Amino acid sequence: MSNKQLVLVVTLSLVGLTGQNNSIAHELGKGNDSRVVDSSGHLISDNSGDCVMTGSWDKALDLVDCGAAPAQAAVAPEPAPAAEPAPAPVVVEQKISLSAGALFDVNSDSLKSAGKQELSELAGGIKAMQKVQRVNITGHTDSSGAESYNQVLSERRANAVRNYLLEQGVSSTVISTSGMGESQPVASNSTREGRARNRRVEITIEGLQTR
């Protein structure tokens, strides 16, 4: 064999070895349009161990097997805390007993200044309720004088309280009045103190209120 033939054989052998190195396939990696693959679809590495790129290489199509960073799983944001439900309104009932002596002069159904002030505060509380369902006003007297007179006086006083609450903005649709005269005492009419307790105006308020 001549020297020229020997050189040719060695050169061909080196080319064959280089071709083998360029055809090293990744057993697990599968390719796509960005990387060269063999007939089985496995990635092909060059002499440096890097995957061989095609002319269509695109960073977006790169593969983890070829050194691309693995895609990060999207992290769902923490759910916002649920808003606290608004408190439900509850039914309330309030019973108030006002002394007739604080509201009226003797044998009168005209409100005194102190009585008006007290009723103004009461009207403010009624209007502050979420929904007023009922305001019942009942007048009472002691047993002094004629029973028929006491009956009429108790009704007039209940109506006087009603009219003042209307002036303060309480709805007429929720107010009712009645007079019981001397028929429902809460104390003995034989004493001055007892008679003073019996002369009164009772107000019952019902409605819805958020606490």
Distances (CA, A) of 139 to 27, 39, 132, 175, 185: 102, 106, 21, 14, 11
**Domains by residue range for the chain, with CATH:** 3-66 (no CATH), 90-209 (3.30.1330.60)
Q: What percent of the chain has pLDDT over 90?
A: 53
Say yes or no to pLDDT of 111 above 50.
Answer: yes
Lowest mean pLDDT, pick from 36-40, 60-64, 141-145: 60-64
Tens digit of each residue's pLDDT (9 = 90 or more) over 131-143: 999 999 999 999 9
Say yes or no to pLDDT of 147 above 60.
Answer: yes
Tens digit of each residue's pLDDT (9 = 90 or more) over 64-76: 556 555 556 678 8
Quick check: 138 and 158 in contact, CB under 8 A?
yes
Strands 175-179 and 131-140: parallel
**What is d(CA 101, CA 107) in angstroms, rounded to the nearest whole number?**
10
Say yes or no to pLDDT of 91 above 80.
Answer: yes
β-bridge partners, 111: 104
Which residue is associated with the tokens 């040719």? 8
Q: What percent of the chain has pLDDT over 70?
A: 65
Residue-averaged pLDDT of the chain: 80
